[in-house]
Amino acid sequence: MSATYQRNKIISGTFDSEEFWREKNLARLPSVEDRQSGNIVMAMDELMFVFCDSGGCYDTLVTRFEMDKEQKQYLDTIGFHFQAHPLIENYGLLEEARKKNSCRLLLESGNIPDSIRKNNKKPEYVPFSVMEESEAVSRKFNLDFDNPSIDVIKKVNSKVYSFYLNREMGRVNDCHIVYSSEEFRQKGEQILSNSSFLIKDTLGVSGKGNLLISSLSVLKHIADYLSMQEKKGKQVLFIIEPFLQKDFDFSCQFFIDKNGQADIISLQRLRNKNFTYEGSFTAEDELLDLLEGRGYFKVIKDAAKQLYADGYYGHVCIDSMILKTGHIVPIIEINARRSMSLIKHRLDHYLSGYSLKCGFTYFSLHFNRHINYGEILEKMQEQGLLYGIGNGGGIIPLSSNTLLINQKKQMGTADKREAKGRFYVAFAYENVQQQEKLNKRLLHFLEENSLYVY
């Protein structure tokens, strides 16, 4: 990418930050632990390469695991130049690393590349989300880091904050906060007399923080589960709300500076499945015009003012939706951090320089044979799928370890289970027809190479 900033950056990411922000005394919703999926989330920090833009090779992307050299070389050929700095080289330590966010690992690693210090300027520290240890990282490595306190960040990221913000802005809805299993049972029975409803963890991670309650038997099961935790001293604190028939989801990314000025960065359509994020796609002009006419952006600006008044500044992503009735729900939840859609925006910015559009998504895959990442890129190149500068579009693979981390963990062990992976990609295209064709060709390519979508 062309140089944008003169200051160099240390970039890192914890993509399940809500898990580390969450108070340990809070009750949880029932869920099935999937360690392979957890390993993939740890490897998502590779996606942060899009923020490496200060020119040369002076920005440093800090990742938990070593990026495959073929992926690093490919990104270099399309203009993303940076140093890669892994924190974990022994995959046998993966289970221990699961308990630590990227800041904690960075503190324990003891070093960053000296070559980042250019022109004696203080490098900037750019985390995906601010953690308890972020300030300590900046002090230890003498990095420029200016963010609100961690207490403010935890507060504004909570769905309780979104609940009260909606109330203060006069957007009264049928949401409720429940503080006990019995209150959950009683409120739930009232709502079920009219519709199904959602129970939401106040700091739930994507795909794990929401449950749909559609019957009295399910309601009783969840209430009993919460009651058991109460008896062990856990605090019940959840949001419940009627299940809304949505048409589609979208999100708005904006930045609040230290003076309180809020600038909208982008608006993205979202693809969600079972409450889990699956991708971001460019919002069409018709949607932007509709939102402008309905006062959506005024709501966003008002929300930014309140966030600033409550002590927050920095990146924000607000999730929104349009219902099948046409009604706009402007604030579902607030993500006061960088976001997946902001990563998509960075790819938009990059591809706009080549008059191309961008779609950002991933494919959940399983496979039971050894996969060589270099061969995957080589075959994509041979079949005309791989994006290259000047080739009029194609697929940009965004991460190697989200695809292969579970295979790497199993190597040298007796574990022969099918490995799970996620193939994060950007579609670089001129028109929708080209994007649809690329999607079909990629699906066929994956199956041809024994990578099966689930």
pTM, rounded to two decimals: 0.93
Q: Which of helix, strand or coil describes residue 286?
A: helix
pLDDT bin (cut points 50, 70, 90) of residue 90 is: confident
Coil, strand, or helix at residue 423? strand
The first and second tokens of residue 4, run together, are 């944008």
Q: Which residue has the higher pLDDT, 171 or 53?
A: 53
2 pLDDT band, cuts 50/70/90, is very low
Task: Tell me the Cα Rg of the chain.
Answer: 22
The lowest-confidence range among 39-48, 203-212, 399-408 is 203-212
The H helix count followed by the E strand count for the chain is 16, 17
Tell me the average pLDDT across 200-210. 81
Q: Give, in degrees to the nearest 5, the angle at Cα 390 between 434 and 266.
A: 65
Tokens at 187, concatenated? 């409120």
Residues 362 and 422 sit within 8 Å (Cβ to Cβ):
yes
pLDDT value at position 206?
A: 63
| Average of per-residue pLDDT across 266-290 | 89
Q: How far apart are CA 251 and CA 342, in angstroms?
A: 10
The model's pLDDT over 93-109, given as tens digits with 9 standing for 90+, comes to 788 888 899 999 999 98
Give the strand pairing for 238-242 and 210-213: unpaired
Rounded Cα–Cα distance for residues 384 and 391 (Å): 9
pLDDT band for position 56 (cuts 50, 70, 90):
low
Name the DSSP letter for residue 195: -
What is the average pLDDT value for the chain, to the nearest integer?
A: 92
Q: What angle do CA 38, 42, 48 make, to 5 degrees?
A: 140
* pLDDT for residue 313 is more than 90: yes
Per-residue pLDDT reduced to its tens digit, 409-451: 988 777 778 999 999 999 999 999 999 999 999 999 999 999 9
Q: What is the tens place of the pLDDT at every residue in 327-349?
A: 999 999 999 999 999 999 999 99
pLDDT bracket for residue 172 (50, 70, 90) = low
Closest CA to 99 of 152, 167, 24: 24
Name the region of 300 (left: φ>0; alpha: ψ -120 to 50; beta: rest): alpha
24-33 residue pLDDT tens: 999 999 988 8
178 beta partners? 238
Residue partners of 401: CB distance under 8 A and separation at least 6:
43, 46, 63, 65, 67, 68, 408
Q: What is the mean pLDDT of residues 277-296?
A: 93
Note the pLDDT of residue 275: 72
